[in-house]
Amino acid sequence: MDTRRIGSLEVSVVGLGCNNFGRRLDFDATSAVVDAALEAGITFFDTADTYGGTKSEEYLGRALGRRRDDVVVATKFGSRIDEQRRGASPEYVRQAVEDSLRRLGTDRIDLYQLHWPDPEVPIGETLGALDELVKAGKVREVGCSNFSAEQLREAEEATREGATRFVSVQNEYSLLHREPEREVLPECERLGVAFVPYFPLANSLLTGKYRRGQAAPSGSRLDSSRGEKMLTEENLAVVERLIEFSASRGHTILELAFSWPLRLPTVASVIAGSTSAEQARGNAAAAGWQLTDEKLNEVDSIVRGRG
């Protein structure tokens, strides 16, 4: 699998999101997904301290075992675990990293990310604490998630000369959610910050299993209240046209969903979760479609035309 850079880190262009570990998957199922991902060439594993009620980090660390040194492990802090464990204060950053290191069973975190901006803590204070962790060898690189272009600029301006800076931002981005194109992606290019899309499959709408005129598969991600927002006639019409577009060129909509964001050099790795070994293998194999400018224009026309 191709690789790209996040700061000093080399990562596979498809990453495994670990939000299902400890929530939808027990340890044995987690281990099967991790094994399949590694066999398929995925080397970038992204989790968070809150995923699976803190079990995701533990399951990931155990599943990797002796293969830890072969991969890049990213985790996040800042989301609320409980009233005491939340936010981005320097004191909590120091506690959170120790907790994550223990759960992951490792001596360093490759990419440590602030999960959400914390309006109560100046970003310079958070970056100062993260810089301490890098200098102590507990963290290799630092990033952020769910940041606006303005917040990225504030973080850059607050970084002391020679100190650790954010090398990545992880935001939602897909064919059906293109808001980052307005400001965040141009800002990433200007600052030299890697962009890491999450939800590239638009909550699985771009997998091809949701079709116009058909009920959502029982037990699927969108077979619930969240489906009412995503499974609109407008979105399903676009999906049908994207399925037709891909099939007529010998590809699948899954391949389109992964390959499309990777058209941008700023995009380092496309993160998607898996609930089975089969899904992990399918996602890993989906990023190889080299889309020409002509095809990209056709896709753009389909999405912006909305059916």
Catalytic center residues: 51
| 3-state DSSP assignment of residue 61 | helix
CA 222 from chain centre, in angstroms, equals 19
What's the CA gap between 142 and 136, in Å, rounded?
13
Provide the 8-state DSSP code for 256: H
What's the CA gap between 47 and 271, in Å, rounded?
10
Beta-bridge mates of residue 144? 114, 169
Indicate the residue type of 138. Answer: K
Positive or negative, the CA dihedral 47, 49, 52, 54 is positive
Provide the 8-state DSSP code for 68: G
**Contact 268/6 with Cβ under 8 angstroms?**
yes
Nearest to 94 by CA among 83, 106, 85: 85
Please give the radius of gyration of the chain, using alpha carbons only, rounded to the nearest integer: 19
